[in-house]
Amino acid sequence: MKGYLVLENGKVFEGKRFGAMGDVIAELVFTTGMTGYLETLTDKSYAGQMVVQTFPLIGNYGVIPSDFESDKIGPGGYIVKEWCQIPSNFRSEGNLDTFLLDRGIPALSGIDTRALTKLIRDAGALNACITDDPDKVDLAALKAYRITGKVAQVSTKQAYTVQAEQEKYNVVLLDYGVKASIIKELVKRGCTVTVLPHDTTAVDILAKKPDGILLSNGPGDPTENVVAIATIKELLGAGVPIFGICIGHQLLALANGFETGILNGGHRGSNQPVRNTETGKVYITSQGHQYVVLREGASDNATIFFEHVNDQSCEGIRYANAPAFSVQFHPEASAGPLDTQFLFDDFIKMMEG
């Protein structure tokens, strides 16, 4: 069945529908990862966005629930060149169509995803909608679409705990849209993880007597989260080790007086090089962000210890005034390279004291 992608600039791409039916409006983003579509489709950081896969053949290894990063929410729409009807992998439990249908994600195939990617790249941010009837699309509404309040929407409503087999540390994770693999990495290292809603107060957090606090990844504009930023400010004084990832990194930076901005084009894929400015060593990382912490906020108390190799934008900050550090990229990978998983070890070391 035919379906259409209508961009806010009026451009229309005709494709074939699969996944869930119905219209959806979202912000277009692309990802260049050649594997990892399941992780992408279950990543809450994509809430409110519509993901375009640049690799043309998607769904090859089917649906593998144990690789999911969340049980419900991911991107609002999905665009591919071709999806694989008969996947092949020993862990696969189904195909992409069924999965998207189940999750209520409308999708299109057969589109020139490379041409679309170039448009997104050049536009910076671009809204679009998937629809059956392109003539009925209200372009003004499309243009006006903004991703707001997504952290509140995707964060857990209730606290829950994931117990480590042999508990060494008690870590509180502030859930702004956490990926399951972050929790897995912590639990693997002997951390019992208490996941708390994004708006939990500092008092309540500290009442859990955490050995460390992890600020998770999540969707949207970090500056929206004024409460969370204020909470982090309070936490900084408590002397508890803090590790921020993605939006967690941005919130930590905002709490420390940094400002955030918008990258031209963003970093999107599993092939993003970052340099550790202290060692000069380069790592390949997984990224999917457009908001960025501006370098100008760096001070004696806050050093940028990771930068992007291509545009030197801030990829990680180490604080001197508190036992805290954070990275923009995803050390938990999933999808992507495992090169920077050692940062979780660093976090553990901080907790060791």
**Footprint (CB under 8 A) of other proteins, residues 239-268:** 265, 268
The CA distance from 263 to 294, in Å, is 10
Nearer to other proteins among residue 124 and residue 237 (C-beta):
124
In 3D space, the residue among 23, 22, 28 whose CA is nearest the CA of residue 8 turns out to be 28
User: Interface with other proteins by CB under 8 A: which range of 20-28, 209-217, 247-255, 334-342?
Assistant: 334-342
Among 139, 284, 298, 350, binds other proteins (CB under 8 A): 284
Q: Measured from the CB of residue 285, what is the shortest distance to other proteins in angstroms? A: 10
Nearer to other proteins among residue 55 and residue 258 (C-beta):
55
Sign of torsion over alpha carbons 329, 52, 99, 71 = positive
Q: What is the size of the binding site for other proteins (CB under 8 A)?
A: 61
DSSP result, 217-236: ---S-GGG-HHHHHHHHHHH
The CA distance from 37 to 288, in Å, is 13
Among 23, 87, 184, 295, binds other proteins (CB under 8 A): 87
User: Interface with other proteins by CB under 8 A: which range of 34-42, 172-180, 228-236, 240-248?
Assistant: 34-42
Catalytic member of 198, 289, 308, 330: 330
User: Interface with other proteins by CB under 8 A: which range of 58-66, 125-133, 214-222, 244-252?
Assistant: 58-66
User: Interface with other proteins by CB under 8 A: which range of 13-21, 148-156, 188-196, 229-237?
Assistant: 13-21
Burial class (CB in 10 A: 0-12, 13-18, 19+), 89: exposed
In 3D space, the residue among 335, 336, 338 whose CA is nearest the CA of residue 68 turns out to be 335
Record the tokens describing residue 86, joined without a space: 């008969």
Contact between 331 and other proteins per CB under 8 A: no
Among 9, 14, 144, 201, binds other proteins (CB under 8 A): 14
The CA distance from 244 to 98, in Å, is 35
**Beta-bridge partners for 105:** none
**Footprint (CB under 8 A) of other proteins, residues 301-330:** 309-310
The CA distance from 42 to 75, in Å, is 7
Contact by Cβ (8 Å): 241, 173: no
Burial class (CB in 10 A: 0-12, 13-18, 19+), 144: exposed
330 is catalytic: yes
Q: How many CB atoms lie within 10 A of CB 103?
A: 18
Contact between 280 and other proteins per CB under 8 A: yes
The CA distance from 152 to 16, in Å, is 33
Nearer to other proteins among residue 244 and residue 336 (C-beta):
336
249 is catalytic: no
Contact between 203 and other proteins per CB under 8 A: no
**Footprint (CB under 8 A) of other proteins, residues 100-139:** 110-118, 121-122
Contact between 184 and other proteins per CB under 8 A: no
Catalytic member of 246, 289, 307, 308: 246
Nearer to other proteins among residue 194 and residue 285 (C-beta):
285
Radius of gyration of the chain (CA): 20
**Beta-bridge partners for 289:** 267
Contact between 281 and other proteins per CB under 8 A: yes
Interface ranges with other proteins (CB under 8 A): 11, 13-15, 30, 32-36, 38-39, 54-57, 60-61, 64, 67, 81-82, 84, 86-91, 110-118, 121-122, 265, 268-273, 275, 280-282, 284, 309-310, 333-339
Report, as residue numbers or ranges, the catalytic residues.
246, 330, 332
